[in-house]
Amino acid sequence: MTSVLSKSDLIGATTTLRAALERADVAAQSEIPVSLWGEVGVGKETFARLIASTPVVKLDCARLSARRWNALLAENELSALVADALGTLYLTNVETIPKPIQRRLARAIRDERVKARFLLGSSKPYLESRENELWDSEFDAILQSYPIKAPALRERTNDFAELAQAFFREAQSEIGAYPRSLTNKELSALNDLDYPENLDDLRRRVAYVAENDAVPQQVVTPVVFSVAAPQPTPNRAEKPVDRDAPFQSLDAAIIAHIEEALQLSGGIVDGEKGAAELLDVNPHTLRSKMRKFKIDVKKFRD
């Protein structure tokens, strides 16, 4: 099942979605730089492709070093990337661009030294990113030229059934299943799970139904409170604390713990003895964490 977003992600009549689509329609009639805001998996790339009137070349800024940026700008490689297609440059994760590079990029866009349409995407909330001083002032002016916020799935609750049915048809087509619609019982069961974090999450759940004719099970582990005092461990030596040693960040500890579970499970997330069971979390929650920390499950598989 592919995770590439499509026009079906923009199905629905929720006011927030309609407002974003109207702005995208206006943006499509001009060449002004557009900034696309929204959480991971809400469909920013789909918006980008709807806005662009030319082929889209996508660059993930999080994977570009300052040295690579210098080469792209100094040698005008950005123009070369889209020269053959006369296309649009869609830059994702723009919050990772160093400020000096932001300034140079802003001037290249403003002075039209790069012959391309620019669409700039970020999963960071704009006001929060501005408060954290992530932006060079000149680049910030570019970001404010024409901003569009793609609404999160939780802001589109009225679109749940229509989206689920569209994703179900896509999944059936991919696996060659006999076409049918999700039943009211299946829709109700999907809706009773923890609400999906984003469109990719909903798509995976619906694909599971298409492939298995069953809604994925959500196992809730009951919390057991014990009033018994803990028994001391005999002959247990306390580990000395080196207060001068660098302390591991919380994110680094979480990443290490997830990777250890994936190593033990052989890269299996779901099911008995899967990483989710080892970590005692819902598989969907674990996948969300893996996406957040860019953990590639493939490298743990035999």
Q: Is the pLDDT of residue 32 over 50?
A: yes
Which residues in 111-243 belong to E strands, given as ranges?
117-122, 147-149
CA dihedral of residues 57, 60, 65, 69 (deg, nearest 10): 30
Helix or strand or coil: residue 91?
strand
Task: Please check whether residue 43 lies inside any domain of the structure.
Answer: yes
Residues 206 and 136 in one domain: no
Task: Please check whether residue 226 lies inside any domain of the structure.
Answer: no
pLDDT at residue 86, as a whole number = 65
Residues 136 and 68 in one domain: yes
Q: Is the pLDDT of residue 137 over 90?
A: yes
Number of domains comprising the chain: 3
Give the tens place of pLDDT for each residue, 50-73: 999 788 889 999 999 888 898 888
Residues 59 and 98 in one domain: yes
Residues 204 and 119 in one domain: no
Residues 92 and 137 in one domain: yes
What is d(CA 92, CA 61) in angstroms, rounded to the nearest whole number?
Answer: 6
24 or 176: which leads in pLDDT: 24
- In this prediction, residue 131 has a pLDDT band, given cuts at 50, 70 and 90, of confident
Residues 165 and 275 in one domain: no
Burial of 13 (0-12, 13-18, 19+ CB in 10 A): exposed
Portion of the chain with pLDDT greater than 70, in percent: 84
pLDDT at residue 246, as a whole number = 65
Domain with 265 in it? 250-300
pLDDT at residue 40, as a whole number = 87
Residues 115 and 190 in one domain: no
Task: Please check whether residue 92 lies inside any domain of the structure.
Answer: yes
Task: Please check whether residue 164 lies inside any domain of the structure.
Answer: yes
Residues 91 and 177 in one domain: no
* Average confidence (pLDDT) over 142-148: 95
CATH of the domain at 96: 3.40.50.300
What is d(CA 116, CA 31) in angstroms, rounded to the nearest whole number?
Answer: 9
Residues 135 and 182 in one domain: no
pLDDT at residue 93, as a whole number = 95
Q: Output the six-digit token pair for 180.
A: 């049918």
Residues 208 and 289 in one domain: no
Residue 60: beta bridge partners?
92
Task: Please check whether residue 46 lies inside any domain of the structure.
Answer: yes
Average pLDDT, the chain: 82
Residues 54 and 143 in one domain: yes
Give the tens place of pLDDT for each residue, 234-284: 454 444 555 555 666 778 888 888 888 888 888 888 877 788 888 888 777
What is d(CA 207, CA 171) in angstroms, rounded to the nearest whole number?
Answer: 5
Give the tens place of pLDDT for each residue, 18-30: 899 999 999 999 9
Q: Output the six-digit token pair for 273.
A: 């003895």
Q: Output the six-digit token pair for 230.
A: 């803990």
Q: Which of 256, 194, 259 minimizes the C-alpha distance to 220?
A: 194
Among 48-62, 113-127, 194-208, 215-229, which stretch is predicted with the lowest mean pLDDT? 215-229
pTM across the whole model = 0.63
pLDDT at residue 272, as a whole number = 74
